[in-house]
Structure 1
Amino acid sequence: MSLTRLRVLVVEDEFLIALHLQCELEEVGVEVVGPTATVRDALRLVEEGSFDVATLDVALKDGPSFPVADALQSASKPFLFVTSHNIVELAQAYPTVVTVPKPILFSRLFAALRLKAGR
């Protein structure tokens, strides 16, 4: 199944990781929204809603991304975590959300995006 024309909001504060994510996603036809590195900017983009699915790092420059996750859930927007943080804790707090661990296996990320986007 294709990811072509899927719009993915990337929330990641590490510049090189965000750039790598963007390049890998664009290579398979994804349109990247962002990347953005702060909770504040991510919340603004969630309000705009011009994406299909989001990827969230947990620890951002201005705090945990949990307010963004909560806003995405309230807006019924699918998302997944891409993080090196404790996956067990995330599963307890967000039991229906897929977590892709860092370092990122892009085949796993692409499969998770297909699942979340229904493709």
Structure 2
Amino acid sequence: MGPGAELQGRRILVVEDDFLVAQGLCGLLEEAGATVVGPLGWADEALKFVHAHLDKFDSAVLDVDLHGEKSYPIADWLATREVRFVFTTGYGADALDSGYLHYPRCEKPFDVRMLFQALTRSA
């Protein structure tokens, strides 16, 4: 079983505001056999989407900072529904508010194996 095989058939929402990062991330997930939902790049857009389309995805990758807004309202909504998600950031652990440090996080540039493990590890 190769890296990412555990993502085969998964539907993963991508919330990322950098076009090139989003495209690269989507490509990695699709190569692993996942279906990508999105990407969405704005916090309000993503929050509206998750409210209306919970049946469209089973996990998510959330950039912490979306055009200057934190993705915490999206994370909170997903957490209350027990939807697995991973925060991504280019700034390290100090980019997260203390109340969110217990959630999985991957730093950019991505270590693909760590990202895939974070998406599939039991909560």
Letter in 2 for 1:105: D
What are structure 1's unaligned runs of at least 5 residues?
Answer: none
Partner of 2:30: 26
TM-score calculated relative to the size of structure 1: 0.88
TM-score calculated relative to the size of structure 2: 0.85
| 4+ runs deviating over 3 angstroms | none
Instruction: Give percent identity, aligned residues only.
Output: 38
Letter in 2 for 1:101: E
Shift of 1:16: 0.1
The answer as to 2:91 corresponding to 1:85 is: yes
The answer as to 2:70 corresponding to 1:69 is: no
DSSP 3-state at the match of 1:104:
coil
What are the within-5 Å matches in structure 2 for residues 29-40 of structure 1? 29-40=33-44
Partner of 1:105: 111
- The aligned length equals 117
Q: 1:10, 1:36 within 8 Å by CA — same for their partners in 2? A: yes
Hey, what's the Cα distance between the residues in 2 that align with 1:53 and 1:103?
20
Hey, what's the Cα distance between the residues in 2 that align with 1:5 and 1:45?
21
Q: 1:39, 1:62 within 8 Å by CA — same for their partners in 2? A: no
Q: 2:93, 2:101 within 8 Å by CA — same for their partners in 1? A: no
> RMSD between aligned alpha carbons?
1.8
Partner of 1:2: 6
Shift of 1:51: 0.7
